[in-house]
Structure 1
Amino acid sequence: MKAGMYVGEKLVQLATVEKPILKDDEVLIKVAYAGICGTDMMIYAGKHPRAKAPLVMGHEFCGTVESVANIDEFQPGDRVTVEPYLTCGKCAACRAGQSHVCATLRCIGIDRDGGFAEYVAVPSHRLHRLPDNVTDEEAALTEPLAVAVHTVHRSDLKVGDSVAILGAGPIGLLIGLVAKQAGASEIFISDISPQRLQIAKQLGFTAINAKEADIKEAVLAYTKGVGADVVFEVAGTQITAKQMLECIKFQGKVVVVSVYKQPPAVDLAAMHFRELSLTTTRCASANDFATAIQLMERKIIDVRPLISHRLPLEQIKQGFDLMDNTEISLKVLFHP
C-alpha cells in the first residue's frame, strides 16, 4: 500500500509498505482523509521526544472499515472516525475513567503507524461511528474538535464570559467556535498570520494582529479596561505565556493548551495578586469525541472553513511545505 513516511528531520516521502496485519480486536481502516496537525509538524522538525523515523504519521483521520479481527461491533463498510490514543487501562487515571491522561499515554501516528496511508490498523474500542450527514472531510477534524470541546470544558466557561484566544491555528479557531456555542459573549483571537486572522473574522471573532497591536492593550480596550474572563493560550511561545496573564481579568482563568518545547517563564506573583487561576488540558476523552461528532451532525459547528488544502498522498512533501507556511495554510488534508 501507499504510505506517507517520515524518514528524518524535515524529510517525508511516499513509500510502498506492507498492508497492516490485524491482531485480535483490531479493525483495518481504509483511510478517507487524514489531517496534518501541530504534533505532526513537531515530528517533521525532528523535535518530538518519542516519535522516531521511519514512521507513518497522522492521528487525525477517518475512513471505512475494510476488515475486522474477532469482533462483532463493526462490519466492513462502516464509516468511522478514530480516537487515536493508546492507554494502559491499569494506571490510576485509567481506573478513574480518565484514560486520556493515562500515565503511559501513547498515540497512533506517533508511537505506531498512523493515518497517512491507504490503510491503518486500529483497536476496535477506539472507533466512533459516523452519521450519514457528516462528510469524510468534516470527520477528519473530529479529533481537533474533540480537543476543543475538552478544552472549553476545562475552562469552566460561563454564559456571558468574554474570551481571549492567543493563537488562531486550527485548535484556537475550534476553541473559539466551541466557546461561542457555550455562551461566550465576546471572543478575541490573536495571531501574526493575516490569512488565519481573516478566517477568524469570517467566523465572527474579533481578530487582533499581534504584529500590529499590543495584545494586552487591545483586549483591555475592548473590555473597558477589565480584561477577558477566560484566556486560552494556544501558541506555545514565551510571548504568549506573558500575554496570557496581561490580558485577563482579576480572578480570571487561564487555560494552557500548548505543549511547550521549552519551559516558559510565568509570573506567579502577577497571578497571586489578582487571584488568577491556571489550568492545563491534554487531548480529549471518549465523551468529548461523541460531543464533537454530535456538534457536526447537528450542524451546530461547521469545521469546513478550516480546511485550506486537500492533497493526494503523493503530494505529502508539498503538504508539509504548506503547513510550514502559516501565511497560506490552516488545515491540510491528505486523501490517500
Structure 2
Amino acid sequence: MLGLILKQPGQLELQELQSLSTLKDDEVKIKVIYGGICGSDIAVFKGKLKHASYPVTPGHELVGTIMGAGQDVEYTIGTKVVVLPNSYCGTCDMCVKGKTNICRHKESLGVNADGGFSQEFVISSRFVLPIPEGVPDERAVLIEPFAVIIHAFQKVEMTKDTSVAIIGCGTEGMLAVSLAAYLGAQVTAIDINQDKLENARSFGKIRTAMPDEIKDETFDVVIEAAGVQQSVEQAIQIAAPGGSVVLIGLTPEANVPVVRVVRNELNIYGSIIYNFPSDYTKALEYLMRDDFHVNPIISEIIPFKEYERAYEAAATGKFGKIILDFKEGNGNRAHCSSIR
C-alpha cells in the first residue's frame, strides 16, 4: 500500500508501506477514503509542535470503510467509520472524571503516533464511530473538526438573541459560524482575509468585519479560533459585561487585561478537542441534516498522490479545508462547490 511519511520537518514522502495482515483481537483495518489536512498537520510538517515525533505518518481527520477486523470486533466488513485520533487510557484521573479529551496519557495520530494518510490504516475499534448509510463522505470527514466546535459551544448558552463574534475563519471558525447561524444567533465573523469573509457570508445572514472594524461593540459570546495573540486580546476586549470568551486557538501567550475580566465578570473558557463518543455523535447528528450547510468549508478534494500541492495549498491559510482522496481511480481532482 502507499502512504505518506514525514521523515523530519519539511521532508514529506510518498512510500510503499507494508500492509498489516495480522490484527489484534480489538483492531480494525480501514480502507481510507478521505483525509482532511488540519492546521496541526501543517504545524507538524513545519516542526512547530514540540511533542511531535519523527518519522511519522501524518493525518487524523479520516473516513474510511472497515476491510478487516479482529475476532472481538463487533463491526462488520464494509462498515463506514470515522476515526478518533486522540486515544485515551481510560484509567487516569481525568478519564475517570469523563474528561477523556485531557487524558494524561493521550496520544495523537499524526503527531506522536502514526496517522492515517495512507491507503490502509489500523486502529483499535474503541476509537472508531460507525457512519450510517447515506451520509456523504465529504460530510463524514468533517465530523472530527466539527466535534471540536460542538465541545466548545457546550460551554456557553446560545439562543436566537445571543450576539456571537467568531474571530478567525479557518476550518474551525467556519464550522463555528455555520453552527451559530444554524442555531439562530446574531453572528459576526471576523478575519483579516476578505476571501474568507466572503465565504462566511454564504452561510446566510452573517455580518463580516475586519478586526479593526470592531471598535466600540461588544458581544455576548466570543469564539477565538485564529490562535494568534492579537485575536485573543481582541476577544477579551469585545466581550460584553457578563459575557463569555471561548478559546479554541492554540496561542502560546497573550496579554490578559485582568481588571477588565474581573470588573465585567467575564467567563473565559479554554476548550480542547472533544469527548468521545458524545461530541462525535452530536456532530454527526447535525451533519445528517439536509438544512445544515457545510458547502463553503471544503475548498478542494485532491488525489493523495498530489500531496505536495495539497500541503502547499493548506499551508497558505488562504483556502478552506483541503481533503486528500485515497480512493482508487481518483485521478481527476474535484472542487467541492456541489457539497451542501
TM more than 0.5: yes
- Give structure 1 stretches of 5+ with no counterpart: 221-226
Whether 2:303 is the aligned partner of 1:302: answer no
Find out whether 1:113 has 2:114 as its counterpart. yes
In structure 2, the partner of 1:216 is 215
Structure 1 residues 1-336: aligned runs within 5 Å: 1-20=1-20, 21-184=22-185, 186-204=186-204, 205-210=206-211, 213-217=212-216, 220=217, 227-260=218-251, 262-285=252-275, 286-327=277-318, 329-336=319-326
Q: Which has the higher contact order (CA 8 A, sep 6+)?
A: 1
Aligned residue identity for 2:120: Y
Indicate how the Cα distance of structure 1 residues 26 and 235 shifts in structure 2: closer, same or farther if over 3 A, else same: same
Residue 39 of structure 2 aligns to which amino acid in structure 1? G
Q: Is the 8 A contact 1:55 1:113 kept in 2?
A: yes
Larger CA deviation: 157-166 vs 248-257: 157-166
1:304 alignment partner, SS class: coil
Q: Is the 8 A contact 2:25 2:73 kept in 1?
A: no
Q: Does the residue aligned with 2:195 lie in a helix, a strand or coil?
A: helix
Deviations 1:57-105 (A, max 9, x none): 1110100001001224111111111122211111112112221221222
CA contact (8 A) 2:220 2:239 kept: yes
Aligned-pair distance for 1:232?
Answer: 0.6
Distance 1:264 1:114 in 2: 31
CA contact 1:138–1:304 (8 Å) conserved in 2: no
One-letter amino acid of the counterpart of residue 330, structure 1: G
Match of 1:224 in 2: none
RMSD: 1.5
**Alpha-carbon separation, structure 2, partners of 1:7 and 1:32:** 24
| Counterpart Cα distance in 2 of 1:243 and 1:216 | 10
Q: Deviations over 1:253-294 (max 9, x none)?
A: 00011112x222211111112111101111111111001111
Q: Which amino acid aligns with 1:232?
A: I
Q: Shift of residue 314 of structure 1? A: 0.9
For residue 195 of structure 2, what is the amino acid of its counterpart? Answer: Q
In structure 2, C-alpha distance between the alignment counterparts of 1:49 and 1:155, rounded to whole Å:
31
SS state at 1:302 partner: coil
Look up the SS of the partner of 1:154 in the other structure: coil
Q: Give the partner amino acid of 2:221.
A: V
Partner of 2:335: none
Unaligned 5+ residue runs, structure 2?
Answer: 327-340
Cα distance, 1:164 vs structure 2: 0.3
Q: CA deviation at 1:242?
A: 1.3
Identity over aligned pairs, percent: 29
> Contact 1:142 / 1:292 at 8 angstroms: preserved in 2?
yes
Give aligned pairs, total. Answer: 323
Displaced runs of 4 or more, over 6 A = none
> Could you list the per-position Cα deviations for residues 171-223 of structure 1 after superposition, in whole angstroms to 9, with x for gaps in the alignment?
01111222233341x1111112222111101112211123xx33334xx1xxx
CA contact under 8 A between 1:5 and 1:55: conserved in structure 2?
A: yes
CA distance in 2, matches of 1:203, 1:11: 37
Deviates more, 1:168-177 or 1:155-164: 155-164
Per the TM alignment, residue 313 of structure 1 is displaced from its structure 2 partner at its CA by 1.1
Question: What's the CA shift for 1:300?
Answer: 4.1
Deviation of residue 150 (structure 1)? Answer: 0.9
Q: Matched residues in 2 for 1:192 and 1:307: separation?
A: 19
In 1, Cα distance between equivalents of 2:308 and 2:46: 13
